């Protein structure tokens, strides 16, 4: 067994999909290879997870500066695993997960400074790292196209679903937002333009006061897409960021989950929805068909009429949604964090030996 260090800078960051991946993989690496060390800057935001991993807080710097200048000095000859897109560009004995090429394909979602930094570090890592890990065949092709990463240097390792089944529930989210009286279609996401929440708001406006609601959870603010000066249609509820327990409750009580994004490197929310038996309606775009396969219904995210018609058919067909609940659970069972971590450890042992 080779000596391995995991770049645990993610312990100082709020949890989004990227940090979720890093946490779940790290937990399993700790069990699979107990001698693995986890190094982070000071200022840990998730002390219980840091304690679980036995993480060591080293150095005085933070953020990119810590990663580039201090982390390499504490490796003590070990190989390095990076799980969150960024990594020290001076270290060649490492493998790095780059989840997608969104800063290049949807530049409007990122600042110019971030895009320049991402391109510079991405190009360096593509050249120096032993292997690049990514989440989907779609992302592999995107990294090859934008960063010229040789395809033989890329390993595709899909994500897992078990975390969502391990969470508790918080049913108060239903009462706080008056979600018990009508069926609702759930969407989860951020403010990024490629999440395409405007398509849902436009569909809601055209449907009017229908028999079901649209519920949007997460950082996305659907009011920016409303046609009447920021006033949401009466059939849209924006619940904002929610706890993991509340999110599980929303998935389990929703009549369906809709994912309108036109760009995704993987798409963790549709997988979470399938795992909890929530039928999925999603874009036929980017990596999403790789994840949901035949366990979802699809629409063209750039065609408002298709989005609207697909939502109408989906919500009107109880038998279809019942069948998708079963197919979704079966599909999600094939995506596990255990398998993900085992693959990453195997890649590291081969590439860093």
Band (225; pLDDT cuts 50, 70, 90): low
Q: If pLDDT is split at 50, 70 and 90, which confidence band does 222 have?
A: low
The reported pLDDT for the residue numbered 44 is: 98
Choose between 15 and 228: higher pLDDT.
15
Do strands 131-134 and 94-97 pair parallel, antiparallel, or not at all (unpaired)?
Answer: parallel
- Please give the pLDDT value at position 220: 64
Strand partners, 48: none
Question: pLDDT-based confidence at 189, cuts 50/70/90?
Answer: confident
183 pLDDT higher than 60: yes
Q: Rounded CA gap, 141 and 104, in Å?
A: 13
pLDDT in tens, 54-102: 999 999 999 999 999 999 999 999 999 999 999 999 999 999 999 999 9
pTM exceeding the 0.75 threshold for the entire prediction: yes
Residues of the chain with pLDDT > 70, as a percent, come to 97
In the predicted model, is pLDDT for residue 186 greater than 60? yes
CA gap 127, 125 in Å, rounded: 5
pLDDT digits (tens, 9 = 90+) for 267-305: 999 999 999 999 999 999 999 999 999 999 999 999 999
The contacts found for 293-296 with CB under 8 angstroms, 24 or more apart, are: 293/331, 294/327, 294/331, 295/324, 295/327, 295/328, 295/330, 295/331, 295/332, 296/270, 296/324, 296/328
Nearby residues of 113 by Cβ (< 8 Å), 6 or more positions away: none
Can you tell me the mean pLDDT for 147-155? 96
User: So what's the pLDDT on residue 109?
Assistant: 85
Q: For residues 46 and 141, what is the distance between their CA atoms, to the nearest angstrom?
A: 34
Burial class for 334, CB neighbours closer than 10 Å (0-12, 13-18, 19+): exposed
Q: Percent of the chain at pLDDT above 90? A: 90
Confidence of residue 233 (pLDDT cuts 50, 70, 90): confident
Query: In this predicted structure, what is the pLDDT of residue 73?
Result: 97
Q: In Å, what is the CA distance from 317 to each residue of 16, 213, 321?
A: 33, 16, 7
Tell me the C-alpha distance between 212 and 352, whole Å.
Answer: 53
Residue with tokens 């395809």: 151
pLDDT score for 133: 98
Q: What confidence tier does 190 reach under pLDDT thresholds 50, 70, 90?
A: confident
Per-residue confidence (pLDDT) for residue 163, from 0 to 100: 97
pLDDT score of 223: 58
- For residue 312, give the DSSP letter: H
Residue that the structure tokens 């994500």 belong to: 159
**Across the chain, what does the average pLDDT equal?**
95
pLDDT confidence of residue 151: 95
For the chain, domains (ranges, CATH) are: 4-160+336-351 (3.40.50.2000), 163-332 (3.40.50.2000)
Residues 89, 291: Cα–Cα separation, whole Å: 31
Q: How confident is the model at residue 157 (pLDDT cuts 50, 70, 90)?
A: very high
- Decide if pLDDT at 345 tops 80: yes
At residue 232, the pLDDT reads: 81
């Amino acid at each position: 067994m080779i000596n391995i260090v995991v770049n645990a800078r993610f312990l100082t960051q709020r949890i989004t999909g990227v940090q979720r991946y890093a946490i779940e993989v790290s937990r399993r690496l700790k069990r699979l290879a107990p001698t693995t060390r986890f190094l982070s800057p000071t200022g840990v935001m998730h002390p219980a997870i840091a304690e679980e991993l036995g993480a060591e807080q080293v150095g005085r710097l933070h953020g990119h500066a810590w990663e580039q200048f201090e982390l390499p000095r504490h490796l003590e000859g070990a190989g390095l695993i990076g799980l969150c897109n960024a990594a020290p560009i001076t270290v060649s004995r490492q493998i790095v997960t780059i989840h997608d090429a969104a800063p290049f394909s949807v530049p409007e979602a990122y600042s110019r400074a971030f895009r320049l930094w991402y391109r510079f570090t991405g190009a360096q890592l593509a050249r120096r790292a032993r292997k690049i890990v990514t989440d989907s065949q779609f992302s592999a092709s995107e990294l090859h196209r934008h960063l010229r990463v040789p395809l033989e240097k890329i390993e595709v390792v899909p994500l897992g679903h078990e975390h969502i089944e391990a969470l508790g529930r918080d049913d108060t989210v239903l009462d706080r937002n008056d979600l018990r009286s009508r069926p609702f279609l759930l969407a989860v996401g951020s403010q990024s333009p490629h999440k395409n929440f405007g398509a849902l708001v436009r569909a809601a406006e055209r449907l009017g006061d229908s028999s079901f609601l649209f519920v949007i959870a997460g950082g996305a603010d659907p009011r920016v897409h409303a046609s009447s000066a920021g006033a949401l249609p009466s059939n849209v509820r924006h619940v904002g960021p929610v706890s993991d327990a509340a999110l599980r409750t929303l998935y389990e009580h929703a009549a369906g989950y809709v994912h309108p994004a036109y760009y995704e490197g993987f798409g963790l929310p549709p997988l979470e929805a399938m795992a909890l038996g929530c039928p999925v309606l999603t874009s036929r775009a980017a990596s999403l068909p790789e994840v949901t396969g035949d366990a979802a219904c699809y629409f063209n995210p750039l065609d408002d009429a298709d989005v609207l018609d697909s939502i109408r058919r989906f919500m009107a067909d109880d038998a279809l949604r019942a069948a998708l609940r079963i197919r979704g659970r079966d599909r999600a069972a094939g995506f596990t964090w255990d398998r993900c971590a085992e693959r990453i450890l195997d890649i590291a042992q081969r590439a860093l030996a």
